């Protein structure tokens, strides 16, 4: 769908992406201006709509692009030799923090998406978010060591319990991040709290 845009040279792609992410992050979907995006990117409005049919298509592309970048960076740096699901979760949490520090505009855009209540995009974002979550979990945890779980336990249900618990914790953290900057959050305290949940789950589900 976006082949014309993806065939552009990397520098031009990045200019358009960064300009659009900045505008959407600051103003949300409804108030974001494509005039400001093209001005910042140094292109014509006609060219922007040559690559993307409308503002909504651009917004949804940026959402998927942001998740793709995040996943790519995480998968590059994960220690795949470590098969313990709890250690893997801890790795991912630390990598996300590291990536958001390097790409602060990405974090601002993610925050804006969670706050954005625009009816024009909310249903699409919610639907795509569920698909991305399922796909991400498969990519990140398909190779974990199941032998560590207690004998007789349904490992699929056990993994669901872990995922649901840590999704809830992540949602709680997102709520904090919405009103604060990353620097204002005590990461040591946050990781220590997550470790408490991991230990409870580990003691309940492992031999």
Judge contact between 112 and 121, C-beta under 8 A.
Answer: no
Could you tell me the residue ranges of all domains in the chain? Answer: 62-205
**Least confident interval from 33-37, 64-68, 112-116, 170-174:** 170-174
Q: Does domain 62-205 have CATH number 1.10.10?
A: no
CB 168 within 8 A of CB 56: no
Measure Cα distances from 200 to 137, 150, 172 in Å. 21, 14, 18
Segment among 61-75, 100-114, 184-198 with least mean pLDDT: 100-114
pLDDT of residue 129: 85
pLDDT at 45: 93
pLDDT of 100-123, one tens digit each? 777 777 878 888 888 888 898 989
| Helix or strand run (H / E) with residue 207 | none
Q: pTM of the entire structure?
A: 0.82
Question: Cβ–Cβ contacts within 10 Å for residue 17, how many?
Answer: 20
Cα distance between residue 82 and residue 91, in whole Å = 10
Q: What is the predicted pLDDT for the residue at 187?
A: 78
How many Å apart are CA 34 and CA 39, to the nearest integer? 8
């Amino acid at each position: 769908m976006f082949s014309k845009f993806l065939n552009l040279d990397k520098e031009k792609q990045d200019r358009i992406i960064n300009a659009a992410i900045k505008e959407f992050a600051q103003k949300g979907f409804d108030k974001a201006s494509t005039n400001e995006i093209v001005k910042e990117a140094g292109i014509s409005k006609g060219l922007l709509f040559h690559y993307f049919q409308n503002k909504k298509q651009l917004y949804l592309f940026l959402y998927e692009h942001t998740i793709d970048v995040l996943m790519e960076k995480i998968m590059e740096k994960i220690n795949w030799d470590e098969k313990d699901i709890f250690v893997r979760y801890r790795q991912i949490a630390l990598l996300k923090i590291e990536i958001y520090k390097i790409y602060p505009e990405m974090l601002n855009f993610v925050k804006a998406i969670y706050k954005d209540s625009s009816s024009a995009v909310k249903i699409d974002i919610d639907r795509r978010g569920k698909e991305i979550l399922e796909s991400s979990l498969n990519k990140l945890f398909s190779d974990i060591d199941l032998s560590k779980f207690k004998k007789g336990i349904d490992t699929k249900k056990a993994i669901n319990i872990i995922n649901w618990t840590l999704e809830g914790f992540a949602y709680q953290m997102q709520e904090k991040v919405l009103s604060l900057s990353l620097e204002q959050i005590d990461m040591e305290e946050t990781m220590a709290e997550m470790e408490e949940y991991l230990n409870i789950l580990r003691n309940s589900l492992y031999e």
